[in-house]
A and B are shown apart, each in its own frame.
Chain A
Amino acid sequence: MPIRTGAQIIWECLVHEGVQTVFGYPGGAILPTYDAMLDYPVHHVLVRHEQVATHMADGYARASGGVGVAIATSGPGATNMVTGIATAMMDSSPMVCITGQVPSKMIGYDAFQETDISGITLPITKHNYLVTRVEDIMPAIKEAFHLAKTGRPGPVLVDITKDAQQASTEWEWDPRPVKIRGYRANSPVLRTDLAKAEALIRASKRPVILAGQGVIQSGATRELVALAERIGSPIAMTLLGLGGVPANHRLNLGMMGMHGEAWVNHAIQEADLLMAFGMRFDDRVTGNLKTYAPTAKKIHVDIDASEINKNVPADVGIIGDLRETLKDLLDLVKPADHSTWVSHIDSMKGDAAVRDIQSLPDTGHLYAAHVINDIWRITEGKAVVVTDVGQHQMWEAQYYHHNAPRTLITSGGLGTMGFAVPAAIGAKMARPEAEVWAIVGDGGFQMTQAELSTAAQEDVKVNIAIINNGYLGMVRQWQEFFYDRRYAATPLRSPDFLKIAEAHGLQGFRVETRGQVADVVQRARSAAGTVIVDFRVEQEDSVYPMVPAGADLDAMIRRPGASVLAETGADKS
Chain B
Amino acid sequence: MHHTLIALVEDKPGVLNRVASLFRRRNFNIESLTVGRTAEIGVSRMTIVIDTDQAGAQRVGAYLNKLVDVLQVEELASDVAVARDLALVKVTVAGHDRATLLRVVDETRAHIVDTGEQSITLEITGEPPHVDAVIGRLKPLGIIEMVRTGQVAMRRGDTALSATQYS
Contacts and interface: CB of A to CB of B under 8 A. Distances in A.
B29 interface: no
A130 B14 CA distance: 10
Interface string B1-27: 000000001100010011001100100
Interface string B55-73: 1001100110111111100
Interface residues of B, number: 23
A275 B167 CA distance: 34
B93 interface: no
A177 interface: no
B62 A306 contact: yes
Contacts of B22: 123
A181 interface: yes
B59 A180 contact: no
Interface size bracket, A side: 20 to 34
B70 A123 contact: no
Nearest to B13: A130
Contacts of B67: 127, 182
A96 to B, nearest CB: 14
A486 interface: no
Nearest to A156: B68
Contacts, number: 43
Contact of A122 (B21, B63, B65): B21
Given A122-B21, A123-B21, A123-B25, A182 B71 contact: yes
Nearest to B69: A182
A423 to B, nearest CB: 26
What is the predominant secondary structure among interface residues of chain B facing chain A?
helix
B163 interface: yes
A118 B12 CA distance: 14
B167 A305 contact: no
A309 B63 CA distance: 12
B66 A310 contact: no
Contact of B68 (A127, A304, A305, A309): A127
A122 B17 contact: yes
A118 B70 CA distance: 17
Contact of A309 (B18, B58, B71): B58
Nearest to A182: B71
A195 B9 CA distance: 35
Interface in B21-65: 21-22, 25, 55, 58-59, 62-63, 65
Contact of A304 (B9, B10, B66): B66
Interface string A154-175: 0000000000000000000000
Contacts of A313: 55
A308 B62 CA distance: 9
A113 B46 CA distance: 35
Nearest to B20: A122
Contacts of B14: 118, 130
A52 interface: no
A119 interface: yes
Given A118-B14, A122-B18, A306 B167 contact: no
Interface string A103-127: 0000000000000001100110011
A130 B18 CA distance: 13
A269 B129 CA distance: 48
A439 interface: no
Nearest to B10: A182
A306 B163 contact: no
A268 interface: no
Interface string A299-332: 0000011101110010000000000000000000
14 contacts: A123-B22, A123-B25, A126-B68, A127-B67, A130-B14, A182-B9, A182-B67, A184-B166, A306-B59, A308-B62, A309-B55, A309-B59, A310-B59, A313-B55
Interface of A: 118-119, 122-123, 126-127, 130, 147, 180-184, 304-306, 308-310, 313
Given A122-B18, A181-B166, 9 more contacts: A127-B67, A130-B14, A147-B68, A180-B68, A182-B69, A182-B71, A183-B68, A305-B62, A309-B58
